[in-house]
């Protein structure tokens, strides 16, 4: 009964000044862990955002490049389908090893590796004369993207102070859906080889930027590199900032957590981790089954069905994303992850309903002159609410709720589930549309509605607390 009450208490926002936790340390927003923005922190966020932007560009590349690649290389539809889908295979492989790799070699070194795979992938596509090099490049890009989905939110959650963590991570993760739209727009006016070179630009920025950003202080503390840990934390918080309280909190937590046996993936399937694992996997399923890839991978076909010119559609869909990303970074710290996620998933549901309704009207030959506008409105609403929160908040929560000894395994599982659902939605979309275009989007909308109930019942609020405070409060459930 006591555990049940404690679990329920996680579902409401805890004000930082009122935190009472079991291991004896707490803080408020005036403490050392509630720091301001520094040049090194901004640089680290920008460099990490380049990785997220590069990943989104990978996802958005295949749709605008399709006709050019097929014409220039003489690929069959089946061969191009392999090219389009092989990224998901690479993504799943990257997802499975992402957590363990980042735990062993570090967050920053993992970003080095994923960037190498990105650059090799784009070069392979640019120089491709046939299907095999094209597919190899796409596989390499998918592998890098799979690593990105884990290491970006994890690194950001570990370097940012609690009062900035949600906003900064939200903006960086929202670079993924934004860059998908950028790829669509640029790809509509240039050829596929030039588009591949443009895709390499954020990868080169990432490559250059990695020389100047620190490793995650929490990872350094975990592996016992104390001097480097303190130096990295000092760089991130500012030269003249007193980091002693925050450093002590991190070290105390790390020392306590080291007493727990070494991380094994099967340990996560114990009853004490069930709640956290259900939350993590559930958020990944929700993010994909809301219909993201139905929109992302088949935007051209949707515009065609609606009678909207592709370039017009892409421009209209892209415009609201930047203000949505900006607004999301502000609202996430004001209202919390859980509240904003429920609102944005509800918005996704509305977008799917409007899209489905436009197909119903089209089939009935009612209000045909209004159908394209209604279809476009549905897509804009969906993409705007996705950018506002659904695209980033699940990754933020997953990077916050798992203990550092379990974060690698848990992150790999959740990331792999996300990529599997990504493939499943992409694979089934054409079959569903053939059955019923309207029914397809009503199904996606229904999944989003169920997602709101899932969030309300199970997802904890993590706003305004350090990672150590979050873990201390969650230990009540894990006992």
- 311-355: pLDDT as tens digits: 777 788 888 888 888 899 889 988 989 999 999 999 999 999 998
pLDDT of residue 294: 74
What's the rounded Cα separation, in Å, for the pair 444 and 446? 5
CB 180 within 8 A of CB 56: yes
CA dihedral 160, 162, 165, 166 (to 10 degrees): 180
Q: How far is CA 457 from CA 287, 333, 343, 411, 462, in A?
A: 17, 21, 15, 22, 15
**What is the reported pLDDT for 397?**
92
What is the dotted CATH code of the domain comprising 2-474?
Answer: 1.20.1250.20
- 3-state SS assignment for residue 249: helix
Residue 417 confidence (pLDDT):
94
Report the alpha-carbon distance of residue 459 to residue 451 in Å, rounded.
10
| Domain locations in the chain as residue ranges | 2-474
Rounded to whole angstroms, what are the CA distances from 139 to 83, 220, 293, 345, 429?
A: 8, 31, 18, 31, 21
Residue 295: the pLDDT is 77
Separation between Cα atoms, residue 388 and residue 198, nearest integer Å: 26
pLDDT of residue 151: 96
Residues of the chain with pLDDT under 50: 1-32, 478
- End-to-end CA distance of the chain: give it in Å, rounded: 13
Show the DSSP H helices in 319-401 as ranges. Answer: 321-335, 337-364, 371-385, 393-401
Say how many C-beta atoms besides its own lie within 10 A of residue 397's C-beta. 26
Position 297 scores a pLDDT of 61
């Amino acid at each position: 009964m006591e555990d049940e009450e404690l679990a329920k208490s996680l579902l409401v926002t805890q004000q930082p000044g009122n935190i009472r936790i079991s291991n004896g340390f707490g803080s408020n927003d005036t403490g050392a862990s509630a720091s301001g923005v520094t040049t090194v922190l901004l640089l680290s966020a920008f460099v990490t955002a380049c990785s997220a932007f590069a990943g989104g560009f990978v996802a958005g590349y295949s749709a605008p490049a399709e006709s050019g690649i097929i014409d220039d290389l003489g690929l069959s539809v089946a061969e191009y389908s392999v090219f389009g889908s092989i990224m998901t295979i690479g993504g799943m492989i990257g997802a499975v090893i992402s957590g363990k790799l980042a735990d062993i070699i570090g967050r920053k070194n993992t970003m080095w590796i994923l960037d190498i795979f990105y650059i090799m992938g784009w070069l392979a596509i640019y120089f491709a004369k046939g299907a095999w090099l094209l597919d190899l490049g796409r596989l390499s890009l998918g592998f890098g993207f799979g690593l990105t989905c884990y290491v970006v939110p994890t690194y950001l959650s570990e370097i940012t102070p609690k009062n900035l963590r949600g906003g900064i991570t939200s903006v960086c993760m929202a670079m993924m859906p934004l860059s998908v739209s950028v790829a669509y727009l640029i790809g509509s006016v240039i050829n596929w080889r030039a588009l591949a070179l443009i895709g390499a630009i954020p990868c080169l920025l990432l490559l250059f930027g990695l020389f100047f950003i620190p490793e995650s202080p929490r990872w350094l503390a975990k592996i016992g590199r104390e001097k480097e840990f303190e130096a990295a934390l000092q760089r991130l918080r500012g030269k003249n900032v007193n980091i002693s309280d925050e450093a002590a909190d991190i070290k105390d937590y790390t020392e306590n957590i080291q007493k727990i046996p070494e991380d094994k993936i099967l340990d996560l399937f114990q009853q004490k981790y069930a709640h956290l694992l259900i939350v993590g996997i559930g958020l990944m399923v929700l993010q994909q089954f809301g219909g993201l890839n139905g929109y992302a991978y088949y935007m051209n076909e949707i515009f065609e069905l609606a009678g909207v010119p592709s370039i017009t559609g892409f421009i209209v869909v892209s415009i609201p994303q930047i203000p949505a990303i900006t607004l999301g970074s502000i609202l996430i710290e004001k209202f919390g992850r859980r509240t904003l996620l429920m609102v944005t998933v509800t918005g996704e549901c509305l977008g799917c309903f409007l899209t489905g309704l436009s197909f119903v009207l089209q089939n009935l030959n009612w209000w045909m002159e209004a159908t394209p506008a209604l279809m476009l409105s549905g897509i804009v609403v969906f993409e705007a609410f996705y950018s506002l929160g659904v695209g980033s908040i699940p990754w933020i929560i997953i990077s916050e709720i798992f203990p550092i000894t379990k974060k690698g395994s848990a992150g790999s599982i959740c990331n792999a589930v996300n990529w599997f659902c990504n493939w499943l939605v992409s694979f089934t979309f054409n079959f569903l549309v053939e059955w019923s275009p309207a029914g397809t989007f009503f199904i996606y909308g229904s999944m989003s509605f169920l997602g709101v109930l899932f969030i309300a019942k199970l997802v904890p609020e993590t706003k305004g607390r350090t990672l150590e405070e979050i873990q201390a409060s969650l230990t009540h459930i894990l006992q």
